[in-house]
């Protein structure tokens, strides 16, 4: 059922948008990874997932499951509910279980959708899950204009994978400061994929 639904979504998105994928060669083969992406619209999970390898899972706010049909659809694509604003460690455990089962995990570290298209401050959830599971993080940039319309040109960029072991020493009790360093790394990579080196250079010049 998963691959049938994924194919139907892929076909619908191919018709609706002009899609291009870059950097798919960066995605490790044969192992589950964590895709950490910027967040523009509710269409981001399928946009990232279309170019991803194998099966994937992703967190979705619990309100999206209230509609039975839509809830069934996103569950078929690997979604599981999460309550906003609640520090529920069961979400972290569920995410690690999905990775242990061989599913890649899709996370949007900003937490909310960006209204201006820029990459904003991220959270450390992906870093914690990566540290506990050992899964590599693949930064992703979903790039398009101001709004999604019919046949909008969309480029999904997959960056170089990041090994959590290079930043976090202990998987059982991750050091918060080390988690922040890991978070800063993947957020910087996402920002570079979305906004490009020119924007990064301007910001560095402004800081000097």
CB atoms within 10 A of CB 151: 9
- Do 140 and 36 form a contact (C-beta atoms < 8 A)? yes
Q: What is the pLDDT of residue 199?
A: 47
Consecutive 10-residue averages of pLDDT for the chain (208 residues): 86 95 96 97 91 90 87 88 70 93 95 92 95 98 92 97 97 95 98 80 48
Alpha helices in the chain (DSSP H): 2-16, 44-51, 68-76, 89-100, 125-133, 176-207
Q: What is the pLDDT of residue 198?
A: 56
Q: How far is CA 199 from the centre of its chain?
A: 22
How many structural domains does the chain have? 1
Q: What is the pLDDT of residue 4?
A: 87
Q: CB neighbours of 193 closer than 8 A, spacing ≥ 6?
A: 38, 139, 140, 141, 143, 157, 159
Query: At CB < 8 A and 24+ separation, what contacts does 115-118 make?
Result: 117/40, 117/146, 117/194, 118/194, 118/195
Q: Looking at residue 96, which CATH number applies to its domain?
A: 3.40.1130.10
Q: What is the pLDDT of residue 86?
A: 57
- Do 36 and 141 form a contact (C-beta atoms < 8 A)? no
Q: What is the pLDDT of residue 76?
A: 86
Q: What is the pLDDT of residue 155?
A: 97
Q: What is the pLDDT of residue 84?
A: 65
Q: Which domain holds residue 181?
A: 2-207
């Amino acid at each position: 059922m998963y691959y049938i639904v994924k194919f139907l979504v892929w076909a619908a998105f191919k018709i609706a948008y002009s899609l291009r994928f870059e950097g798919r060669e960066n995605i490790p083969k044969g192992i589950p990874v964590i895709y950490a992406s910027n967040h523009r619209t509710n269409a981001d999970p399928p946009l990232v997932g279309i170019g991803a390898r194998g099966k994937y899972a992703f967190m979705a706010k619990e309100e999206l499951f209230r509609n039975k049909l839509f809830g069934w659809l996103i569950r078929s694509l690997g979604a599981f509910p999460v309550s906003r604003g609640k520090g529920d460690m069961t979400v972290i455990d569920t995410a690690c279980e999905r990775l242990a089962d061989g599913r890649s995990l899709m996370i949007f570290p900003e937490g909310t959708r960006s209204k201006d298209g820029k990459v904003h401050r991220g959270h450390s959830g992906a870093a914690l899950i990566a540290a506990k599971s050992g899964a590599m993080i693949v930064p992703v940039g979903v790039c398009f204009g101001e709004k999604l319309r019919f046949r909008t040109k969309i480029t999904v960029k997959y960056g170089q994978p990041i090994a959590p072991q290079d930043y976090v020493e202990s998987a059982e009790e991750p050091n918060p400061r080390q988690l922040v360093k890991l978070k800063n790394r993947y957020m910087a990579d996402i920002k570079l994929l979305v906004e490009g080196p020119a924007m990064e250079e301007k910001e560095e010049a402004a800081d000097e």
